[in-house]
Amino acid sequence: MWPLLHRAMRAHVALYRATGGRLGQRFPGVPTMLILDHVGARTRKRRRSALVYLEDGENLVLVASKGGHPRHPAWYHNLMAHPEVTVQVGRDRRALRARTATPEERARLWPRAVAVWPGYRTYQARTDREIPMVILEPRRV
């Protein structure tokens, strides 16, 4: 199933970018999504991922669920190796820095993430790993 899902996500990213964010941020039955521009941990190639997010003040929050897979998603490893990222939220682009949420932040944010996408609760039940949450903070110049 992963190859099919990967192709669908690539098409989603292409649509989002081609329309300047007018299409792709919202789909019926799916939470709002952003495009994450990041760098491969080993390859250093530019990567793009369409991801569900939630807002927490000036920060954005991502959930590294990979649908409850036993391993973290590749984009999470990439962010831990290269935390400076750019996101596109609709038509807006932002320069951010990624970090894993502290246990206290995760405890506060997890219920909000489940409210945005109830599937996260099922994903957590499928895996023995604790699903990380990633805080994207504005880069300070």
Quick one: tokens of 82?
């290269």
Query: To the nearest whole percent, how much of the chain has pLDDT over 90?
Result: 66
CATH number, domain with residue 36:
2.30.110.10
9-25: pLDDT as tens digits? 666 666 766 676 666 66
Structural domains of the chain, count: 1
Q: How confident is the model at residue 77 (pLDDT cuts 50, 70, 90)?
A: very high
Q: 127: burial class by Cβ within 10 Å (0-12, 13-18, 19+)?
A: middle
pLDDT of residue 85: 98
- Name the phi and psi angles at 18, rounded to 5: -60, -30
pLDDT of residue 117: 92
Pairing of strands 133-138, 59-63: antiparallel
Q: How confident is the model at residue 140 (pLDDT cuts 50, 70, 90)?
A: confident
Q: How confident is the model at residue 73 (pLDDT cuts 50, 70, 90)?
A: very high
Closest by Cα among 73, 74, 64, 67 to 136 = 64
91-136: pLDDT as tens digits? 899 999 999 999 999 999 999 999 999 999 999 999 999 999 999 9
Please say if the pLDDT value at position 1 is more than 90.
no
3-class state of residue 133 by DSSP: strand
Supply the range of the domain harboring residue 68.
2-138
